[in-house]
Structure 1
Amino acid sequence: MAKNNTYTAEDITVLEGLEPVRKRPGMYIGSTDDRGLHHLVTEIFDNSLDEAIGGHAKHIYLSLNQNGSVTVSDDGRGIPVDMHPSGVSALEIAMTKLHAGGKFKKTAYQASGGLHGVGASAVNALSNNMTVVVTRGSKYYVQSYKRGNPDFKVKEIDSKTVKTYIPDFHKHLLKTKSGNLTTFSPDPTIFKTNTKFSFKRIKNQLRERAYLVAGVYIHLLQEKTGRKSNFYFESGIKSLLSHHNKSKKPLHEIIHIKGNADTPDYPIGVEVVMQYTDTYQEALISFANTINTYDGGTHLTGFRMALTRIIKDYAIKNNLIDEKSSKKLDNFTSDDMKEGLTAVVWIKMTSSEIQFESQTKTKLNNPEVQSAVYQTVRDQLEEYLEEHPNAGKIIVAKILLAAKARLAAKAAREAVVRKGILDGLTLPGKLADCQSKDPKLSEIYIVEGDSAGGCFSADTKIALADGRNISFKKLVTEQSQGKSHFCYTIRKNGQVGIEKFINARLTKKNTKVVRVYLDNKEVITCTPDHKFMLRNGNYKQAKNLTTKDSLMPLYKKMSSKAEKGITIEGYEMVWNPKSNSWLFTHILADWYNRWKKNYTLKSGDHCHHKDFNKLNNNPINLIRMPQVKHLELHRQHIGKTLHTEDVKEKCRKLKQTQKFRTAMSKRMKQPKTRDILSKNAKAQWQDQDYKNFMTQAWRDFYNNNESYRLKNKKQLNNAQKKYWNIKQNREAQSKRTEIYLQTHPEIKIQLSKIAKQQWQNEKLLSWRSEKTKEQWTPEFRKQRLHTLDKTYFKKTLNALKQIEKTNNGLNLEKYQQHRLETGDRSILRFDCFCSRFFEGNQEKAKEAVANYNHRIVKIEQVQKKADVYDAEVPSTHNFALASGIFVHNSAKQGRDRVTQAILPLGGKILNTERARLDKIVEFTELKDLIVALGIGIGETLNLENLRYHRVIIMCDADIDGHHIETLLLTFFFRHMREMVEKGHVYLAMPPLYKITHGKFEKYVYTEEDKDKTVNTLKEKHGSDTKINLQRYKGLGEMNPEQLWNTTMDPKTRTLKQITIEDLAKTDEIFNILMGADVPPRKKFIQSHAQIAELDV
């Protein structure tokens, strides 16, 4: 195109000022996020590109400068600087007035990307500062601006001064007679989230533009890193199509269509290249002049209409399909044409007539373009197919297969819908849905199977607080009827308790299970990944359990007055593993109610079972009431049941007999009866609950009575002085020490040797002396004693249990022999163990041994698969099975049930890059996902029906987890792209490490953060300080509380929103990663091996 050098101030037309741009930037650049930020570069660069399209420029330079600014220069004509008829320089008009520019006249640019005169002035308005240097007639002119306002009038500068405005990368401007340079910095008050430009993003954008403008050199530099890229292409959009299909297998040669369509006012240039490949997705790129119209428009509509018409007519005309078959396939549709199609559609028209939806220029609106493209493609494609029959047959065969798949997918979708209606199930059973029905507040976590937690067979029974043992299947039925359930649980402090058992449900169908055999002859069927609670409170998956593992037990019994300290008959008691003692279950229910503030101690001093069933210890069946009222209630109840008139008459007659009266008289006079009355009073103090109550009452009195505290302290001090002042007491203690050393001579010798060797070092003596003074604080002494007691207790109890198991009973002689053989001094003598922890009561100690744990006998794989169930236990996340052990429940607990739903996906996800829609709809895991989201798929997709506005992928931080993430992202990109484009898809970011040092605890999410934290701790505490690093490879390694705090709590979590910056580039990456060809994938992975994240 010949140069037009009559570009003057008269060509600049003014419409309005810049104030609207700063008030509503989104109207002009689309948004103020990363996309809007980079749109600033597009606007300035496209002005230079327009000069190249007009034949006025051969070189365009763009640099990302060290200070965060961007500079664009070209060797075009330069913006006019002479005076405009309005009395201001044309340069100032173009840069400071909205809708002012040189593209309104049909003679200015014939294929320009600029429009409405908004571009440069809008960028100026949204920039913190901007400088424009113009070269015209070998003279230099400059003007600077701040947020759209000029700093000074346009002025001419000399060749020396101009160098201060031109970066080294743009020095070419000093050698040209004309040209333009623009430097701008984005305004941080507008772009509040980010003002840093992406080299990668801009590089892809410039490469794309270079394909369109053949013969133009485009140069890019990132000043900070020194990275450079240069682009120059001669083959135009054919090269662009070849670039996009480089990792695909083409089915025929590239079809190139090029022509001009005349309209009444101006011609429209149409150029199209297209090629079908063996993939199942469409890659369609469209341009209007140099603008990438990401949202399509009338030019794409015209292309699709022509393609559908020509292919259908060609197929029928050449007997590749008859009209009857065409009707059976519901005719070829435009969607059928999409499968495997890669095409570039480019229209060129006068910039003064081009119409877009907005200044972001993502969708073309000119109606005349539709007919122009339709006419050109129809004529030339029909001619091409006639001349290339082999290509025609291949294309028709590909589309015919797509049409059949469309019908199969439609049938499958309808079958899913029909099944849902008939079964009354509109949502998958494995979905743990949220309570909220507002999509804006709701979010769904998609987790891989292992992260969803293990499950049990339908007949597995749960021990309930109401006295029943019922199966999961029965629980599901009862909960659907509105019935509440409570289970036994181990609380965070290790104490047995009661908690709600909710959301029982079928989670997986026909899945692999194992059988776990216990030492009490119970058998449990569950998934291999289900976690069992060990005796120390940790968890272990079923598949990893061994016969050496000690499981947390559940023991229950009925109370009997025959036992010491028991005053009520026939009430359920449960073994408390923390205190190694029995607790009444109704006391646990009472604790739960007070914890949940259902009532307080002030409500009364008696607990009452509402249904008069003392075995139903559901907290909702328990209330507190005053003693008088409670006894009166029972008297009334007895009056209605036992105290009927006939029963009363029989009792009255019995008490009147001489035999009864004589017996009662003798009984009351007996010393034994008197002793019983006395013992009953004393027995009350053996009740641990009573002791706890009285202890707390004493503490309250003690803490609130200063005079009593002083008096008590004085009495205790005097008592100990008096005790140790007695010679016999001191001698008795000395004797006990002497006897111990006599019975353990080996210990005395051993300790003597160690002490002599250790304390010969004077420096050590001095150092140890000082350290002992520092460390042996009262708090340290107390903690040390507690730790030692805990160690002695656990090791001794474990050893006793092992002896009991191997000898079918507790053999104390063999236990003593075991102690001597091991030489472990932390395993206590049985008498010492009883004295230290059970007040010398051997029966209590033996009971603790008997109830210590359960063990695994064996684990076997089950060949037959089974449906499995799961439930939720708030707060504690564990529950007791009727078989007598405690188990974990699923990862669904780390969530807010009001707004957060969980959908576990078991097994591998289908690679949708290589699958048609009919196969996708039939794939169980993806079908569940489609139903859960509610928006449909394919032609039925409707984003308005989305049930959750945040769809969060949460997978393990290992290779399998990343693979599942990629498969899901591929599915969303290929089949629910609109959901991604609208910003509804996220990745959860679980922590990589947990760092602990003493009481310090921190979760870190990157290697950089880990190194920084570790270095900070070492600087503070010394380089030799011990720092614990826990690497999280799977979500299952975190307990529900950790999962909530780190990954699911909206206040503390980190989510990565998935966006599509460059549609074509994203399509290429997914095709490489998930396509069939191995070499491109291998090359891509090798070249990105050191990159932590792929920004696609």
Structure 2
Amino acid sequence: MSEDKRSNKISNDYGAEQIQVLEGLEPVRKRPGMYIGSTGPRGLHHLIYEVVDNSVDEALAGHCDHIEIVLRADGSALISDNGRGIPTDIHPRTGKSALETVLTVLHAGGKFGSGGYKVSGGLHGVGISVVNALSEWVKVTVYRDGSEFNQRFEKGISKGELESKKQTGKSSKKGTTICFKPDKTIFSGGIEFEYALLSSRLRELAYLNGGVKIVFRDERNQLSDGSFKEEIYLYQGGIKEYVEYMNAEKESIHPEIIYVDSQKENVYVEAALQWCSDVYSDNILGFANNIRTIDGGTHIEGLKTVLTRTFNNLAKKRGKRKDIEKNLAGENIREGLTVVLSVKVPDPEFEGQTKTKLGNTEVRGIVDSLIGEALTKYMEFNPGILDLILEKAIQSFNAAEAARRARELVRRKSVLESSTLPGKLADCSSRDPSESEIYIVEGDSAGGSAKQGRDRNFQAILPLRGKILNIEKTDDTKIYKNTEIQSLITALGLGIKGEEFDESSLRYHRVVIMTDADVDGAHIRTLLLTFFYRYQRELVEKGFIYIACPPLYKVERGKNHNYCYNENQLKDTIQGFGENANYNIQRFKGLGEMMPKQLWDTTMNPQTRMMKRVEIEDALEADRIFNILMGDKVAPRREFIETHSSNLDMATLDI
């Protein structure tokens, strides 16, 4: 973000009086899930996000342009910035330094009241104290007012007083460095940070805060030349570069990205939009104060409303639609659109259990007004681009009309009476979606074993013949005419593509993809994931999609046997027998080779099975990779496979 964009958010004073205290820290270690979501990998990585968000807030306020994140060899993480530094003067209410107050008191931070920050992300003040409470130890170093301040904490408790010393020479270094090691007694899944997961979030933050340099280094493993893996994210173009990155492998209708950058009533609105000709869905990424709003909110509602109204008005002005003709629907106009919408709100209100839906009602009208004005002006000066966008929208409208009969057929088949369900579906007896699950399997052979081996009370089986339609490069007309797609939509109780996802109509709350562990099985799995992601993405985002993990081997020794799910397990099992042991290995080439009881014991029994839940931590990468693997362009797909084949077992590659 350029200096002039930040200037309106700069607060002149930032001291102990801006730190407001609401309550103590004691509950955090007792119920960590209430504060970070979980004690698994998601919660673990949230600790780093919280500390980084504090540094980003300094950038939003115009006081920081360099943030560094280091994963250290001892399992700790270090985050440093060149911001103003956490205040160190005595807090009037606690009698302790502001730094110790922020680290040890829940809801103590510069994000409450006025004077500290005008906008901020994170957990709104609980972040750094929660990180402290859930860490084995935390070391804080602050450079401020010509001095260096240090303090150490263990499991949320300060160890010694705040130490200070004058910076040497004429140094005027400023900023905060926080190093922490998560408490392994808190995190059930271990305390090892995942590089790829952090990398995608840090890259996203750099796009959202153009001009802020983010350095990410992994010091846990040295490279062959003695150095460490390091990435630098710096995007002067901000979210415009974000859209360029997402659309790099697509055919854009207009090379120039449409950019909106404005503010009204202290709400800052930034948007970047680009339409592509070879895409049949939209990709909208919304952010509020740098937090990705997966569940949308008032800013997304304002965006969709203004797009529909503006382009329908312009279509009539350009003579592309007559007054007597139906208006273009919102999904027609958004077909092929990639947009990043980032709003900065002084007092954000988040809704929902996950706090990922913006609720500020005033934001809807502000987004509508600012984007509508900018879009209208841009299109008036670029009528050629307007005509191309309208042409695609009208084609989408016509295709939707042509597919209407097929859609209505799907609607009729989606009624929950058994007579309307696909004939090949072996349904379960339960009618409670929360306890029901459906296995999507390939072929009649695997379907037969699954039908015989399942628990009929809560497990349904839907066999599919061959590879389903690739929805990545298919318009609506073909989707609704395809038998296998119709079976999927009807069996699951899905709505119509483009309509809002209706969870209450979903017939099963666990949709399990169960395919063979070979190349064909991986392809079918990818096609199914593409269908769910493109058809109704919320099905994936809300955690309804799973992947079954059948074993690859059965190792028999005497009357005993072991199932092995990968090569390493097989190797460990054989080594455990000792030398000169007699054993037999059975390789399962397909699910159809397994007896029904074997399939139940290894893959379908909730007490013994292993299953992967499909999650989308990074919508950007998911969208990009689906486009690469399933799109029309061969070159990017070849490049992707060549790049990853050197360091991945391609037999187990699961995108």
Q: Report if TM-score (shorter chain) is over 0.5.
A: yes
1:212 to 201, 208, 212: 208
1:64 to 65, 71, 85: 71
State the alpha-carbon separation in 1 of the partners of residues 435 and 212 from structure 2: 51
2:131 to 120, 123, 129: 123
1:292, distance to aligned residue in structure 2 (A): 2.6
- Is the counterpart of residue 101 in structure 1 residue 109 in structure 2? yes
1:370 to 364, 367, 370: 364
1:455-508 residue CA offsets vs partner (Å, 9 max, x unmatched): xxxxxxxxxxxxxxxxxxxxxxxxxxxxxxxxxxxxxxxxxxxxxxxxxxxxxx
State the alpha-carbon separation in 1 of the partners of residues 200 and 556 from structure 2: 43
Residue of structure 2 equivalent to 1:967:
527
1:970, distance to aligned residue in structure 2 (A): 0.8
SS in 1 for 2:22: coil
State the alpha-carbon separation in 1 of the partners of residues 239 and 415 from structure 2: 50
CA contact (8 A) 1:953 1:986 kept: yes
State the alpha-carbon separation in 2 of the partners of residues 106 and 381 from structure 1: 34
Q: Map 1:365-514; keep pairs closer than 5 Å.
A: 365-418=359-412, 425-452=419-446
Residue of structure 1 equivalent to 2:195:
199
CA contact (8 A) 1:48 1:60 kept: yes
Look up the equivalent residue of 1:127 and give its one-letter code: S
Look up the equivalent residue of 1:260 and give its one-letter code: S
1:964, distance to aligned residue in structure 2 (A): 0.5
1:1003, distance to aligned residue in structure 2 (A): 1.6
2:120 to 102, 112, 115: 112
2:589 to 1033, 1040, 1065: 1033
2:251 to 249, 252, 265: 249
1:1015-1045 residue CA offsets vs partner (Å, 9 max, x unmatched): 333xx223xx565333222112222222222
State the alpha-carbon separation in 2 of the partners of residues 1084 and 136 from structure 1: 46
State the alpha-carbon separation in 2 of the partners of residues 115 and 1035 from structure 1: 46
Look up the equivalent residue of 1:369 and give its one-letter code: V
5+ long unaligned stretches in structure 1: 161-173, 454-888
Residue of structure 1 equivalent to 2:57:
50
CA gap 1:220/1:176 in 2 versus in 1, 3 angstroms: farther
1:890, distance to aligned residue in structure 2 (A): 5.0
1:574-631 residue CA offsets vs partner (Å, 9 max, x unmatched): xxxxxxxxxxxxxxxxxxxxxxxxxxxxxxxxxxxxxxxxxxxxxxxxxxxxxxxxxx
State the alpha-carbon separation in 2 of the partners of residues 422 and 185 from structure 1: 52
- Is the counterpart of residue 141 in structure 1 residue 149 in structure 2? yes
CA contact (8 A) 1:28 1:360 kept: no
CA contact (8 A) 1:75 1:176 kept: no
CA gap 1:946/1:152 in 2 versus in 1, 3 angstroms: same
CA contact (8 A) 2:20 2:113 kept: no
1:942-991 residue CA offsets vs partner (Å, 9 max, x unmatched): 21232222211111111111100000111111123222222221111111
CA gap 1:1086/1:423 in 2 versus in 1, 3 angstroms: same
CA contact (8 A) 2:146 2:166 kept: no
1:366, distance to aligned residue in structure 2 (A): 2.1
State the alpha-carbon separation in 2 of the partners of residues 79 and 416 from structure 1: 59
1:906 to 453, 462, 465: 465
CA gap 1:119/1:421 in 2 versus in 1, 3 angstroms: closer
State the alpha-carbon separation in 1 of the partners of residues 413 and 213 from structure 2: 60
CA contact (8 A) 1:18 1:125 kept: yes
SS in 2 for 1:398: helix
1:203-242 residue CA offsets vs partner (Å, 9 max, x unmatched): 1111111123233321112221232211122111111110
- Is the counterpart of residue 289 in structure 1 residue 285 in structure 2? no
Residue of structure 2 equivalent to 1:299:
299
State the alpha-carbon separation in 2 of the partners of residues 259 and 1031 from structure 1: 59
1:139-192 residue CA offsets vs partner (Å, 9 max, x unmatched): 2222233333323332336889xxxxxxxxxxxxx9762221112233445432
Residue of structure 1 equivalent to 2:35:
28
Residue of structure 1 equivalent to 2:48:
41
Look up the equivalent residue of 2:109 and give its one-letter code: G
State the alpha-carbon separation in 2 of the partners of residues 50 and 246 from structure 1: 30
Residue of structure 2 equivalent to 1:227:
229
- Is the counterpart of residue 1006 in structure 1 residue 566 in structure 2? yes
State the alpha-carbon separation in 1 of the partners of residues 416 and 539 from structure 2: 29
State the alpha-carbon separation in 1 of the partners of residues 418 and 78 from structure 2: 63
Q: Map 1:306-325; keep pairs closer than 5 Å.
A: 306-325=306-325
- Is the counterpart of residue 934 in structure 1 residue 493 in structure 2? yes
SS in 2 for 1:140: strand
1:33-57 residue CA offsets vs partner (Å, 9 max, x unmatched): 4333222211100111222333323
SS in 2 for 1:974: helix
State the alpha-carbon separation in 2 of the partners of residues 20 and 438 from structure 1: 36
SS in 1 for 2:420: coil
Residue of structure 2 equivalent to 1:1062:
618
Per mean C-alpha deviation after superposition, the further-off stretch among 9-18 and 311-320 is 9-18
State the alpha-carbon separation in 2 of the partners of residues 359 and 17 from structure 1: 23
- Is the counterpart of residue 186 in structure 1 residue 182 in structure 2? yes
CA contact (8 A) 2:28 2:134 kept: yes
1:1054, distance to aligned residue in structure 2 (A): 1.1
Higher relative contact order (CA 8 A, sep 6+): 1
Look up the equivalent residue of 1:282 and give its one-letter code: D
CA gap 1:228/1:450 in 2 versus in 1, 3 angstroms: farther
Residue of structure 2 equivalent to 1:1082:
638
State the alpha-carbon separation in 1 of the partners of residues 472 and 12 from structure 2: 52
Q: Map 1:833-872; keep pairs closer than 5 Å.
A: none
State the alpha-carbon separation in 2 of the partners of residues 436 and 421 from structure 1: 16
Look up the equivalent residue of 1:347 and give its one-letter code: V
Residue of structure 1 equivalent to 2:544:
984
CA gap 1:940/1:6 in 2 versus in 1, 3 angstroms: closer
CA contact (8 A) 2:413 2:490 kept: no
- Is the counterpart of residue 1091 in structure 1 residue 648 in structure 2? yes
Residue of structure 2 equivalent to 1:240:
242
State the alpha-carbon separation in 2 of the partners of residues 423 and 135 from structure 1: 68
Q: Map 1:817-828; keep pairs closer than 5 Å.
A: none
5+ long unaligned stretches in structure 2: 222-227
SS in 1 for 2:350: coil
1:323, distance to aligned residue in structure 2 (A): 2.1
Look up the equivalent residue of 1:345 and give its one-letter code: L
State the alpha-carbon separation in 2 of the partners of residues 932 and 358 from structure 1: 29
CA contact (8 A) 2:449 2:595 kept: no
1:21, distance to aligned residue in structure 2 (A): 3.8
State the alpha-carbon separation in 2 of the partners of residues 253 and 274 from structure 1: 11
1:12, distance to aligned residue in structure 2 (A): 1.5
Larger Rg: 1
Residue of structure 2 equivalent to 1:993:
553
Q: Map 1:526-675; keep pairs closer than 5 Å.
A: none
Look up the equivalent residue of 2:284 and give its one-letter code: L
State the alpha-carbon separation in 2 of the partners of residues 73 and 175 from structure 1: 17
SS in 1 for 2:216: strand
Look up the equivalent residue of 2:241 and give its one-letter code: S
- Is the counterpart of residue 85 in structure 1 residue 92 in structure 2? yes
Look up the equivalent residue of 1:953 and give its one-letter code: I
CA gap 1:76/1:324 in 2 versus in 1, 3 angstroms: same
CA contact (8 A) 1:69 1:184 kept: yes
- Is the counterpart of residue 262 in structure 1 residue 240 in structure 2? no
- Is the counterpart of residue 1015 in structure 1 residue 585 in structure 2? no
CA contact (8 A) 1:238 1:273 kept: yes
Look up the equivalent residue of 2:609 and give its one-letter code: R
1:891, distance to aligned residue in structure 2 (A): 4.5
SS in 2 for 1:113: coil
Structure with greater proportional helix content = 1
Q: TM-score, with normalisation over the residues of structure 1?
A: 0.55
Look up the equivalent residue of 2:269 and give its one-letter code: V
1:4, distance to aligned residue in structure 2 (A): 6.7
State the alpha-carbon separation in 1 of the partners of residues 286 and 520 from structure 2: 37
Q: Map 1:760-775; keep pairs closer than 5 Å.
A: none
CA gap 1:360/1:440 in 2 versus in 1, 3 angstroms: closer
Residue of structure 1 equivalent to 2:506:
946
Q: TM-score, with normalisation over the residues of structure 2?
A: 0.90
State the alpha-carbon separation in 2 of the partners of residues 418 and 359 from structure 1: 33
